[in-house]
Each structure stands twice: as C-alpha cells, then as structure tokens.
Chain A
Amino acid sequence: MLLPPPWKGRRQGKTPMQKLEFILRRLLASFVVLIGVSIMTFFIARVVPSNAAELYIGPKARPEDIERVTKQLGLDKPLPVQYVIYMNELLHGDLGLSLGTKRPVLTEISGRLPATLELLFSGMLLAVLVGIPLGVLSARWQGKPIDFAVRIISIMGVSMPAFYLGLTLQIFFFRDIHLLPLAARVSGDLRFTSPIVEKTGFFLLDSLLTHNWVAFKDVFLHLLLPTITLAAYPIGLIARMTRASMLEVLEQDYIRTARAYGIRDMVITYLYALKNAIGPSLTVIGITFAYALTGTFFVEVIFNWPGLGLFTVRSLLGLDYPAIMGITLFGAVGYVLINLIVDLLQAWIDPRISLKKS
C-alpha cells in the first residue's frame, strides 16, 4: 500500500505535555476574557436608565419601600464597591438575586440548563447526522439532481425562520394528524402514571436509566418537533460548509492520485477527502452550539420549552441586570470552552494544525 490508510499512523504530532500546556494557556487567557466580560456587563447594566430597586419591588411601591430595597440590594454603595462585592460573591459561586424571579440567578440558570442542553444535544446530533452526509453527497454528485435537491434543502434550512417552521410543524403534526404532542418536555399527566425520577435532568436519559419506557416514549415524542426546528438552520449551514470544502478537497492532487491508484470511490470520498474537509464544519458546529445555549429563544417559546433562552429574553425585557450578567458570563464560559474543544478536535483530526502559540 503506497498511501497509508487515514486511520493509521501520523499520530506523533503532539506530545501530551504540549496538549496540556496548550489547554492551560488557553484557560488562562479565557480567565482574562471572563474578567473583561464581567466588568463590561456590570457597568453597562448600570448605565441603563432604570432603577433596579423599583424593578425589584414593582411600579406602585412607596418611596420608603424603594429605599429599603435599595439598601437590601446594596445599590446605595458607590459603583466600584458594588463591583468588588459582586466579584467577591461571584468567586464564591453566587451570581446574585434575579430581580424578576427573586431567586438566585445560579439556581435559575442551573435549573433550566438540562432542558436546554437536552434539546441542544439532540438538535446538534440531528444536524450533524443529516448535514454532513448531505454536504458530502452534494459535493460528490456536483451538478446532479441530488446536488440541486441538497442545495434547495440547505437554503430552506438556513432561511426559514424557526418560529415559522415550528408553528407549521405543530399545526401539521399536532392539529391535523394528531401524531405528536404540541409542546412542553413531557405530558402533564405523566407524573401521575409513570413519573420521571430526575438523576441527570436529561429526561431522555433519566427515563432510560430507570427503565421507564412509558416516560421514555413520551419524552422522545415531545423532543421530536423542537429538535427538527432547532436543527433546520445548522443542517443547512453544515451541509453548505461541508459541500464547499469537499469540492475544494476533491480537486486536490492527492485525491487524483488516489483515484489513479484505483482506490474505491467510497474510501476516497469518506475517508481521504471528508477528513480534510471537515474542519470548517466543525467550527460552525461549535459556534452554533455555543450560540444556541442562550439563543434558542424562538424554539423554546413555541414549544414552551423551559430552557435558558426563555429566561434570557425575559431578563432582557425586564432589565433584570443580575440575571443578564449571569447569563452573559455563563454564555462566555460556554463559548470559551466550546471553542477550546473545537480547537483540540481540529488538531486531533488534522496533524498540520499546531497547538503552539498562534
């Protein structure tokens, strides 16, 4: 064999030490980013013309009540002092109290996170499972009917607004053919027939672990429509990305060489070419994932999904600045971590990528 199969060899690129050093360096840099984000969100939140104490207690409050709440929330102290107090509490894992719900912001975020992540994982899974093969097919059969079909699907996926797609799916699958549930994570009466025992907060996993098949089916059916709605956009994006980079790679000399050697088309396309073409798609997947952590508002509203997106929008509209700051910080951490993981994956897939200083 003159060309080594792609799954063998060439793993000598990076030593574990190098990898560790890279991760530590990135985490350190991320810490600086997070400090910056915290300062910016803190001060921007205070510039907004609104009285936090008044928001906390409601518009009909007496002046003495507003004064009491101002003291209670520590808003009577100078801004830099407030920032130090905030950071001190933050380092102790306390993100403060939401003005809207009057509960700790951390509790609000962590309570909603499993719902969002469950939807997100299933959505991304679907996007990858469908998007990448579509992109590959499209590139391999460029100019053929299948290519056109894929391009139309991906354009539709990218340009169809989530709220429109979601409502259409609901009208068809719930109202017209009564096949799938309308909204929410589980049926309301499930709790009386076979309640889910929460272990991880991921209902699909929980019901699987406890062999609760009735609940598993219920959760799965509830998950279908929001998953499709959420996945539509990344499917289009990933398919287009994969197609574009596949087309480029398929033109490369080494592919032509491989063909000349008579290696089977399937091996060339899926192993030699896709491996080199997957990079940009991976980046897109990472960014979409990070964005969707707090940005799946439309899907969550339509399917009444008790996730972070709903909470984010409610906090924004209510000028609930402790919640906004908490969510922003959380989102920043998410971005940083996911980008780090994507970079590591890229380096693992493509040995030419250096983990040294960029």
Chain B
Amino acid sequence: MMNNRRLLFPLLIVAVLILSACGPAATAIPVVTLPPAPTQPPATVAPTVPPTATPPLVLKVASTASFETFDPIASFSVEAAYLPNLYEGLLRVNPSGSAEAYTPLLASSWEKSTDGLTWTFHLRQGVKFHDGEPLTAAAVKQSIEAAKDHGGAGFIWAPVDTIETPDTSTVIFHLKFATAFELIIGSTYAAWIVSPKALDAFAADPKYWEKGVEAGTGPYMLESYTPDAEIVFTKNPDYWGGWTAGQYDKVVVSIVPEATTQQQMLEGGEADLVCACLPTESLPSFENNPNYTVVKDKSFFNYIAWFNTLRPPLDNIKVRQALSYAIPYQDIIKIAVNGLGTQSRGPVPTGVFPWSADVPQYSYNLDKAKALLKEAGHEGGGFSMQLTYTTSNPAETLFAPLIKDSFAQIGVDVTIVPLKLSEQLALGRKGADGEDMSLMLYWPTYADAGMDNLWSLFYYTKKPSWNLSYWNNPQYQTLIDQAQTTDQATAQPLYTQAMTVLVDEAPGVFFYEPMSIFVVPNTVAGFQYNINYPFTYYFYYNLHAAK
C-alpha cells in the first residue's frame, strides 16, 4: 500500500519532464512565422467594456453557411444567407399571396412603358453606403453593369440592352425584349447595389474583396468574420428605414455544419435561430413544446430526374410515361423527408412564378405502367437502366433505391450510380453515351422558374448545359420563346400550356418539393420566410425581441 501512495509524486515528475520535452516541438512548427489572417478583428488595446454600459441586444443564430466570397457581384453561393442583410437591391420580391407583389428598397417607385421595353426606377433620396458614399443613379448603373459583365449569375441580365441615367436619382433600363423584369431586379444574386468606391477598388486590386469587407446600404454592417466559426453583424445606425426598440443591435452567427449540434444549441438556448436544416425527426418534439413555433412553408426547390431521350428505349414516349407511372411518389416523400413534402407539378416549385395548379401529375399505378410498356412493344420490361444521383444529397440517397425496387416490379432493371455533382453533370453532357436517368435537386437562380427551370432543364440546345434529357420538342420551345419575351400576365397561360406538353411527353420525372421548415422560439418575433430568397433564412431587420 505504501508503494501505491508513493507512486503519485514520481508520476508527476515524469509527466512534467515529457511535457517540457514536448514544448520545443510545438514552437518548431512554423506557426509563428505565419502572418495573422487578415479578416481577424484587429487587436484593440482595451478589452474591457465598462460594466455600466447597457449590453447590446444580441440575436444568436446558428447556420451552416459561410462566406464563399465577399464579392457581392460574383456571389452565387451560400453567402446569400447574409448578403441581403448587408446589401440591398432596388426592390424585394414578396412571397406569392402577399398584398403587395414587391417591397421598394433603394427604388422608391418605378414604372414601365406600355410595350414593356423601358423601365424607369426612381431612387430613394438620402441613402448612403456603409463607406459614406451617396447612393446615385451612376452607382446603380455601375453595379448592374459590373454584374452583367462578370457577375456569378450575370446571365440574368441578358434581356438588358442599355442603362441610362438622365439624372442622379433616375435609372432607365432599355430592354431587348419584354420580360418579368421586376423578378430580375429583385434577384438574390448579381443584383446588389454596391458602393462605387468599392467597385473601383476591386477593379484596381482583384484581391480587394478577399479582405472580408462589404460596401452596401443594408440595415446591418459586417463587424467581423472568423472563417468556419463566427460572423458578427452590427446595426447600421444611419439605415434609411430607421430603427425601433426591440430590433437587434448585433447579430452573432455561429457557423455550425452539424444539424444535430444546431438542434442541441436551439434546445439549450445557445442559439435563438437555426437554419432550416434540423433533422426532421426532431420536429415533433418542437411542435409539442409551447415555447417554439414550427413554421412550414412552400419550397423554392424540387427534385426532378431526366430520362436520356437519346438512348433507346427512352426515346419512346410510352416507355417514359410508363416509367413515370412506376414512381412511388408518396413513398418517396415519406422516406426521403418524413412526409414533409408535396408531389411536384412539373419542374416549377409551388409559389414560384409560373407554377400552376392546372399542370397534370402522374400517379403511382403499376398496372398502367405495365400496359403502357406493352403498347410500346416492351411487354414485361426486359431492359436495364443506369441511374445516377448526387452523392452529397441525403434525400436522393434515400429514395433512389425505391425507384430501383419499383421499376423491378415492371421488369426494368436499374443500376444505381452515386456521383459527385460535377461528375454527374459531365456524364450527362455526353449525349447518347451518358446515363439513362439522372436525379437532380434544382432551384431557379432568381424567382422566375420560366426563365430558369423551364428553359434550363428542358429547352433543347445542341450542347446542353442542364437539359440532360436531350428532349427536342418544337411546340414546347415555341411556347417558351413566346412566354419569355412578354409580361408576367400574358406569359402565365403560355407557360402552363408548355408545362402540360412537358409532363405529357415525360422527358423527366417530377418527384416532390421538400417543405421549408423553421423552428422559431417565442422569444423572437417578426419572422416570415420569403421563398424568393430561399437561402436567406432570416432578414435580421424584420426580427425583434418578443416582449
């Protein structure tokens, strides 16, 4: 027993010896020579806040998104979660069903000519960028021309011919053809109005945005950014919209990639809001808890598949229709998203222009599928197909086997091949040498699925970028051409007709739209999801602390 006691002291000595030996090893790694990351907040001398000051009202958000770029012109990715709090466009598109279709932001009013080719925007007076520059017509013109030239989503400006600035607060757009222009102006990509000083600085130094800076007019300003860890926003005291009590002084975003961690943070009060990615199994516990409100909203996204119509027997309409009848739509929704989705009507998500309840749907009907196969001369199936899906997509991983099982029942053998998105697209672009069927989660670039989904996914081009069905239907293409070059009201019936043709000929499968789901604690008020900005889960300016 004596020995046991005496062990303790030498143990410590050994440990200390080894540790002191490890010391130099640590400093020998070239840590010290590296320059500090430029985006780290500069070290201030006085760290202590006087204890008498009222603490700021802070909103704590946990989010998966980080900044892939700080360049608001190039932005075409997940930073869309934050940019609309820093930057503004001329207007914001309201969710369908709102009293007003648009919210004026930097434009206080606008009008269009009767032919829809000339759009005049009158700018809000007295607005300043965060860097002190005034908002002028020239700044708007410069921002949009930069986006048109090298924006990540610059293609959305294709209808614009020239931009004219008759005075400092008027911007006139001359279009090549009439279109649903407000939807472009309100885009979440490539439509931010940026301080001309910052645009000039970027032109002179291509590394300007890498420093982690912003130069918008929005209600919040970027205070600091620590990659993969934290983003801090602070309110813009000079915001043109003004401030009322209860709105947040600071917003601290923790970047949390794990959904289960987010769930625990929300439950434990470490986060006020989390992004819409909680595990669906966790929802019932929140629904039963009076301290939370679970919001289920429409979706900007949907799951589709292309049939490669260059590869027999998929060149046969009846075969494609048969396969469309052999998809277990409701089972897929149940398995992939715990029932939190709705079956799609064509490739346009509900609530996004030009969705229509008049577009038909296929139902799950194996008898019909077998009969159609027989009509097509493939009684009992007897052919095999290769199906690709995106590995990183957990829903596709879950429902691809359901398709295989169901097709097996009508005698069609499916081989499932998971691929990275870039590989999947590359294979799909090989024409007749590509795969037979390809699953895809798709969403429009901005709130116009007529310009995007209907054109991108099924309009025939010789070298496709996204129409991997190679479907070539002149009637559909004429309808789309007409609808794209007219105003929204005239376009709607044309689009509906085009989608009816599309669903009937079935060059693809239209699975389901996953619901957008938010869990909001009762301490936070003012939340409303705007599906036209699908990645911007929260507009911080609209939120305030509940009394």
**A contacts, CB < 8 Å to B:** 49-51, 54-55, 57-63, 65, 68, 100-104, 106-115, 117, 121, 124-125, 128-129, 132-133, 136-137, 167, 170, 174-175, 178, 181-185, 187-189, 191-199, 201, 210, 212, 265-267, 269-271, 274, 278, 285-286, 289, 301-302, 304, 306-307, 310-311, 317, 319, 333-334, 337-338, 341-342, 345, 348
- B425 neighbours in A (Cβ, 8 Å): 59
- Residue of B25, B66, B265 ringed by the most chain A CB atoms within 10 A: B25
B228, A175: Cβ atoms closer than 8 Å: no
CB distance from A155 to the nearest CB of B (A): 22
A121, B270: Cβ atoms closer than 8 Å: no
B56, A106: Cβ atoms closer than 8 Å: no
Is B43 an interface position by the 8 A CB rule?
yes
Contacts A59-B425, A111-B40 hold; do A184 and B254 have CB atoms under 8 A apart?
A: yes
In B135-156, the 8 Å CB interface with A consists of: 150, 152-155
CB distance from B205 to the nearest CB of A (A): 14
- A102 neighbours in B (Cβ, 8 Å): 68-69, 71, 74, 209-210
16 inter-chain pairs at a CB distance below 8 angstroms, sorted by A residue, are: A50-B420, A50-B426, A61-B152, A100-B68, A102-B71, A102-B210, A111-B36, A114-B31, A117-B31, A188-B58, A188-B230, A192-B58, A194-B49, A195-B47, A304-B256, A306-B226
**Apart from A102-B69, A267-B10: 13 A-B pairs, beta carbons within 8 A:** A49-B423, A54-B422, A60-B76, A60-B445, A101-B67, A102-B210, A170-B264, A175-B268, A178-B268, A188-B230, A189-B60, A198-B40, A348-B21
**Please, how many angstroms separate the alpha-carbon atoms of A136 and B8 in the complex?**
12
CB distance from B466 to the nearest CB of A (A): 8
**B contacts, CB < 8 Å to A:** 3, 6-7, 10-11, 13-15, 18-19, 21-22, 24-26, 28-31, 34-41, 43-45, 47-49, 55-56, 58, 60, 66-69, 71, 74, 76-77, 150, 152-155, 209-210, 226-230, 232, 250, 252, 254-258, 260-261, 264-265, 267-268, 270, 392, 420-423, 425-426, 445, 456, 465-466
Question: Considering only CB atoms, which chain A residue lies closest to B223 in the complex?
Answer: A191
A132, B15: Cβ atoms closer than 8 Å: yes
- Residue of B7, B35, B43, B456 ringed by the most chain A CB atoms within 10 A: B7
**Please, how many angstroms separate the alpha-carbon atoms of A267 and B18 in the complex?**
17
Contacts A194-B48, A304-B258 hold; do A121 and B77 have CB atoms under 8 A apart?
A: no
In-complex Cβ contact of B265 among A60, A133, A182 (8 A)? A182
CB distance from A347 to the nearest CB of B (A): 12
CB distance from A65 to the nearest CB of B (A): 7
A198, B43: Cβ atoms closer than 8 Å: yes
Contacts A60-B76, A175-B268 hold; do A341 and B38 have CB atoms under 8 A apart?
A: no
- B18 neighbours in A (Cβ, 8 Å): 128, 132, 278
**Please, how many angstroms separate the alpha-carbon atoms of A110 and B420 in the complex?**
29
Question: Nearest 7 A-B pairs (CB), nearest first?
Answer: A111-B37, A306-B229, A110-B34, A270-B10, A306-B228, A341-B25, A102-B69
Contacts A62-B154, A182-B270, A306-B226 hold; do A333 and B30 have CB atoms under 8 A apart?
A: yes
In-complex Cβ contact of B257 among A110, A113, A310, A342 (8 A)? A310
B39, A175: Cβ atoms closer than 8 Å: no
CB distance from A210 to the nearest CB of B (A): 6
- Residue of A100, A269, A301, A341 ringed by the most chain B CB atoms within 10 A: A341
**Please, how many angstroms separate the alpha-carbon atoms of A304 and B254 in the complex?**
9
A191, B229: Cβ atoms closer than 8 Å: no
Question: Considering only CB atoms, which chain B residue lies closest to A100 in the complex?
Answer: B68
- Residue of B45, B209, B229, B265 ringed by the most chain A CB atoms within 10 A: B229
Question: Considering only CB atoms, which chain B residue lies closest to A63 in the complex?
Answer: B465
In-complex Cβ contact of B39 among A60, A111, A133, A317 (8 A)? A111
A319, B227: Cβ atoms closer than 8 Å: no
Contacts A100-B68, A184-B229, A341-B24 hold; do A319 and B153 have CB atoms under 8 A apart?
A: no
CB distance from B169 to the nearest CB of A (A): 32
**Please, how many angstroms separate the alpha-carbon atoms of A341 and B22 in the complex?**
9
